[in-house]
C-alpha cells in the first residue's frame, strides 16, 4: 500500500496515498477503533457538513472577499458538491465513538475538500483550517449538521412514508364503511364499533403524530453557525451567522434560520430532544397499531381472526403451513429501538457542560437512525401489510352476535343493574341475550326486538 506524508500541528503522519483525508483524520482513524465495522459516522452528517462548508464559502465570499477569493470559493463549492452527491464516500472512515464534539469528522470533511480541490487545481490552493473551516468551529458546525441532517431526513423520508400510510388507512376506512364488529377494552368485549371507526383511530393517531413532528421543525432549524468556538463568534465576520443560514436554506431548500442565542445553540440539544420525543410518540402509536393488527389477525382458527393480512413468507422451520405477522413484529422492534435511542439522546443532551455538549456524535447517530428506521418500517408495513389487509366480515358478525356487551343498548330502557343481570345470566347459562332477557322477564320479545339493534350502536 502506497502512502504519503501529511502533517498537522502535531507533526507528520503517513496516510494512504489514494485517500483524500489528512493528518487529523488519520490520527482519529488509528486512535478510535470502536465500532469501526458498523458504527461509522452517518453519511447524512458528512453531507450536511459539506453543505455547511459550501454555504460558509459563499457567505465568506460576500463578507470577506479578500480572504475568500473567487477561486477558493469555487474550489470549495465544487468539492462540497461532490461529497453531497456521495461520490467521495470512501474518504470518510471515521466512527461515531470519537471526540464528543465531532471535531475529527469536521476536520475529515475539511481535509477531503482541501485535498480534492488542490488535486483538481494542480496546486496548494486550499488549507483545511484557514480556508475550508474559515469563520467556523467544529463546535458550531457539528450541532448545526445534526439539525440540518435531521430536518432533511424528516422532510424527505419520514413525511412521505407517513403520507402513504395515512392514504392507505383512508382507503381501508372507505372499504369497510358500515362493517360493525365488537370493540374491546381491557382485552375484554366492549360495545360495538364500526371497523372503519377503529381504522380511523389509527389514521388520526398517525396524522396527529405527523403534525406534532412538523411543529418541532422551526426550532430544530435554528442553526448556531457563527457562534464558532464558544458562542461569541470569534474569528467570524459580522453578519456571517445570518448570511450562512440563508445560504444553507438556499442549498437545502428548507427554511433554516440563525439561532438567536449561540451560547444556547452550542451547549444545548433541547430542540433535538424535542423533535425526537415527537418521533418517539409516533413510534409508540405505531407499536399500538401493529399490536392491534396482529391480535385481530391472530389464528387462523384459535385466535380472533377478524382480519386477514398478507402471507408473505413461511413462519416456522418445524411447523408446516404456519404464517406469522412478521411486518407487525418488525414494526414493534423498530419502535423498541427508537425508545432506546430516545433514552440515549436524552442522557447525552444532559451533558452540556459549560459551553459545549460533548456527546454530539452519538446523538447524531441515534437521531438519524430513528428517522431512517421508522421511515423504512412505515413504508414496509404499509406496502406489505396494510395494502393487503382484509376484514373477515363473517367472523366479525359472529363475534358481534356472541358478545354480551351489546346488552348496553338496553340500559336506557331497563337500567344498569338489570342489564348486568341479563349479561351474567347469559354467560352462566350459555344463553343469548334475548333468551336471558325473556327468562328474567325484564322485557317481552316484542320489546326486546324493538330496542335491541347492535348495528345501530356505533
Peptide bond into 80 cis (omega under 30): no
Contact 318, 234 (CB under 8 A): no
What are 303's three cell numbers?
385466535
387 labelled catalytic: no
CA 252/CA 349 separation, integer angstroms: 26
Handedness of CA 419, 423, 424, 426 (dihedral sign): positive
CA 325/CA 328 separation, integer angstroms: 6
Q: Phi and psi at residue 181, in whole multiples of 5°?
A: -145, 175
Beta strand pairing call for 307-308 and 390-391: antiparallel
Active-site position among 89, 156, 316, 350: 316
316 labelled catalytic: yes
Task: Give the contacts of 161 (CB within 8 A, at least 6 positions apart).
Answer: 374, 375, 376, 378, 379, 382
Residue from 136, 139, 95, 105 nearest 237 by CA: 136
CA 202/CA 230 separation, integer angstroms: 46
What are 411's three cell numbers?
340500559
Catalytic residues: 186, 316
Amino acid at each position: 500500500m502506497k502512502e504519503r506524508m501529511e502533517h498537522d500541528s502535531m507533526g507528520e503522519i503517513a496516510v494512504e496515498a489514494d485517500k483524500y483525508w489528512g493528518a487529523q483524520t488519520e490520527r482519529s482513524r488509528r486512535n478510535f477503533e470502536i465500532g469501526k465495522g458498523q458504527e461509522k459516522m452517518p453519511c447524512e452528517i458528512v453531507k450536511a457538513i459539506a453543505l455547511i462548508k459550501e454555504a460558509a464559502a459563499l457567505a465568506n465570499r460576500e463578507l470577506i472577499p479578500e480572504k475568500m477569493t473567487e477561486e477558493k470559493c469555487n474550489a470549495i463549492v465544487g468539492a462540497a458538491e461532490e461529497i453531497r452527491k456521495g461520490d467521495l464516500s470512501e474518504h470518510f472512515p471515521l466512527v461515531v465513538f470519537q471526540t464528543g464534539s465531532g471535531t475529527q469528522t469536521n476536520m475529515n470533511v475539511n481535509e477531503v475538500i482541501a485535498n480534492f480541490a488542490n488535486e483538481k487545481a494542480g496546486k496548494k490552493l486550499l488549507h483545511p483550517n484557514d480556508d475550508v473551516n474559515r469563520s467556523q468551529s467544529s463546535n458550531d458546525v457539528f450541532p448545526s449538521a445534526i439539525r440540518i441532517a435531521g430536518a432533511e431526513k424528516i422532510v424527505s423520508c419520514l413525511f412521505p412514508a407517513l403520507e402513504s400510510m395515512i392514504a392507505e388507512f383512508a382507503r381501508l376506512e372507505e372499504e369497510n364503511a358500515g362493517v360493525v364488529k365488537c370493540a374491546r377494552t381491557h382485552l375484554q368485549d366492549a360495545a360495538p364499533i364500526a371497523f372503519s371507526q377503529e381504522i380511523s383511530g389509527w389514521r388520526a393517531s398517525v396524522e396527529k403524530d405527523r403534525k406534532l413532528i412538523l411543529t418541532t421543525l422551526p426550532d430544530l432549524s435554528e442553526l448556531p453557525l457563527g457562534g464558532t468556538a464558544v458562542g461569541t463568534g470569534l474569528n467570524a465576520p459580522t453578519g456571517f451567522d445570518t448570511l450562512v443560514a440563508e445560504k444553507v436554506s438556499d442549498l437545502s431548500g428548507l427554511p433554516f434560520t440563525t439561532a438567536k442565542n449561540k451560547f444556547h445553540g452550542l451547549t444545548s440539544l433541547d430542540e433535538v430532544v424535542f423533535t425526537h420525543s415527537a418521533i418517539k410518540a409516533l413510534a409508540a402509536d405505531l407499536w399500538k397499531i401493529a399490536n392491534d393488527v396482529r391480535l385481530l389477525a391472530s389464528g387462523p382458527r384459535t385466535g380472533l381472526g377478524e382480519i386477514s393480512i398478507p402471507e408473505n413468507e413461511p413462519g416456522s422451520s418445524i411447523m408446516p403451513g404456519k404464517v406469522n405477522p412478521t411486518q407487525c413484529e418488525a414494526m414493534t422492534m423498530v419502535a423498541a429501538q427508537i425508545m432506546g435511542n430516545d433514552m440515549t439522546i436524552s442522557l447525552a443532551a444532559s451533558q452540556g457542560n459549560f459551553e459545549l455538549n460533548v456527546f454530539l456524535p452519538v446523538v447524531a447517530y441515534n437521531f438519524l437512525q430513528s428517522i431512517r428506521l421508522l421511515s423504512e418500517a412505515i413504508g414496509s408495513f404499509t406496502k406489505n401489510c396494510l395494502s393487503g389487509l382484509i376484514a373477515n366480515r363473517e367472523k366479525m358478525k359472529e363475534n358481534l352476535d356472541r358478545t354480551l356487551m351489546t346488552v348496553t343498548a338496553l340500559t336506557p330502557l331497563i337500567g344498569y343493574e338489570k342489564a348486568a343481570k341479563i349479561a351474567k345470566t347469559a354467560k352462566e347459562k350459555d344463553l343469548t341475550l334475548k333468551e336471558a332477557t325473556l327468562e328474567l322477564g325484564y322485557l317481552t320479545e316484542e320489546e326486546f326486538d324493538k330496542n335491541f339493534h347492535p348495528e345501530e350502536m356505533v
